């Protein structure tokens, strides 16, 4: 892992991932050891790995699989459901299954063909249906928190998309955990700091059988394009993706969106050397630079 300047053997890697996950869960106040967690599982490597990690850490974590009725590709929905059920059975875990078509009369591709939203692409309809059903089940069945398997590549791609359009509303909501209120379940992303390839390695080393194929509707999506761009950046500058995401979280914590420095200027200090105003206590950056230059 060039970004962490760390190399681990299989045994230690399989310990490191849950240890780090437990650290992130605590750091971002996602959930406590006695809370009931509902894990949204799609049959992919991230969500199945998340479920695996949470149960290894001793959390009370049940699964939720949402059947989207996507028959395209290899029979995407049927295969992902089969692998999810298999995982649950092998690990003795409780799985809730909701089928959008049975519940509401239409599968995702059918709803998409009705041109209700998303300009003919099913992802908008699908995302909306998934968010709705995840929240409904978490709420109806009394779970404290809903956990999803979003990894760092997912989060960085969303952040990148929202940054190039400066979508303040979405940027504000992009957090490792969103507190629940007024019928909205708390949502947590315990894997948000792991690279996608780290999760692939975890799933493979744990022998988790997951669906390799991406959803056939994801081909040509903007998020895949953003992921490719960020991977190019990462190849040149290891750690760039993690930095992009973590620095954003820090900046938001520091009040990036809270105040407008023009209207609400921060207090300034006076540089003891030149007397000019500075943002921080002590010498201003210019005087520090000149002092360094003069020491050379």
Q: Is 249 in the site for ligand SF4 (CB under 6 A)?
A: no
Tokens of 124: 């908008």
Nearer to ligand SF4, 219 or 293 (CB): 219
Q: Does 177 bind ligand SF4 (CB under 6 A)?
A: no
Smallest distance, ligand SF4 to C-beta of residue 121, A? 7
Strand partners, 67: 99
Binding segment (CB under 6 A) for ligand SF4, from list 16-24, 199-207, 212-220, 267-275: 212-220
41: Cα separation from own chain's centroid: 14
123 near ligand SF4, rule: CB under 6 A:
yes
Is residue 215 a contact point for ligand SF4 (CB under 6 A)? Answer: yes
Q: For 126, phi and psi rounded to 5 degrees?
A: -65, -45
CB 70, CB 217: distance < 8 Å:
yes
Q: Considering the rule CB under 6 A, would residue 67 count as an interface residue with ligand SF4?
A: no
| Stretch near ligand SF4 under the rule CB under 6 A, chosen from 55-63, 91-99, 215-223, 238-246 | 215-223
DSSP-derived secondary structure letter, 217? G
Task: Give me the residue label for tokens 């993706």.
Answer: 241
Q: 98 by DSSP, 3-state: which?
A: strand
Does 127 interact with ligand SF4 (rule: CB under 6 A)?
yes
Binding status of residue 191 toward ligand SF4 by CB under 6 A = no
For ligand SF4, the binding residues in 99-118 under the rule CB under 6 A are 108
Residue 126 in contact with ligand SF4, rule: CB under 6 A: yes
Contact 100, 107 (CB under 8 A): yes
Q: How far is the CB of 127 from ligand SF4 (least distance, A)?
A: 5
With contact defined as beta carbons under 8 Å apart, do 121 and 224 qualify?
Answer: no
138 near 35, Cβ under 8 Å?
Answer: no
Cα–Cα distances in angstroms (integers) from residue 14 to residues 4, 116, 188, 238, in the given order? 16, 44, 22, 22
**Pick from 60, 167, 218, 243: which binds ligand SF4 (CB under 6 A)?**
218
44 binds ligand SF4 (CB under 6 A): no
Name the residues that contact ligand SF4, by CB under 6 A. 108, 122-123, 126-127, 215, 217-218
């Amino acid at each position: 892992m060039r970004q962490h300047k760390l190399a681990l053997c299989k045994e230690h890697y399989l310990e490191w991932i849950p240890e780090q996950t437990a650290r992130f869960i605590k750091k971002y106040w996602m959930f406590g050891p006695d809370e009931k967690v509902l894990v949204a599982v799609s049959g992919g490597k991230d969500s199945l790995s998340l479920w695996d990690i949470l149960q290894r850490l001793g959390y009370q974590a049940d699964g939720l699989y949402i059947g989207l009725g996507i028959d395209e590709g290899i029979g995407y929905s049927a295969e992902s459901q089969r692998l999810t059920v298999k995982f649950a059975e092998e690990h003795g875990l409780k799985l809730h299954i909701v089928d959008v078509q049975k519940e509401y009369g239409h599968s995702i591709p059918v709803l998409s063909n009705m041109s209700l939203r998303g300009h003919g692409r099913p992802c908008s309809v699908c995302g909306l249906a998934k968010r709705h059903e995840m929240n409904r089940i978490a709420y109806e069945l009394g779970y404290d928190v809903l956990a999803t398997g979003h990894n760092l590549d997912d989060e960085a791609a969303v952040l990148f998309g929202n940054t190039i359009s400066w979508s303040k509303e979405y940027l504000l909501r992009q957090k490792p955990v969103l507190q629940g209120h007024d019928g909205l379940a708390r949502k947590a992303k315990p894997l948000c700091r792991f690279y996608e390839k780290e999760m692939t390695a975890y799933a493979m080393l744990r022998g988790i059988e997951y669906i390799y194929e991406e959803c056939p509707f994801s081909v040509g999506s903007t998020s895949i394009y953003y992921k490719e761009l960020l991977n190019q950046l990462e190849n040149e500058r290891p750690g760039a993706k993690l930095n992009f995401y973590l620095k954003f979280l820090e900046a938001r914590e520091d009040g990036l969106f809270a105040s407008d420095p023009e209207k609400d200027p921060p207090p300034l200090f006076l540089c003891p050397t030149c007397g000019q105003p500075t943002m921080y206590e002590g010498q201003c950056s210019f005087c520090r630079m000149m002092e360094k230059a003069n020491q050379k």
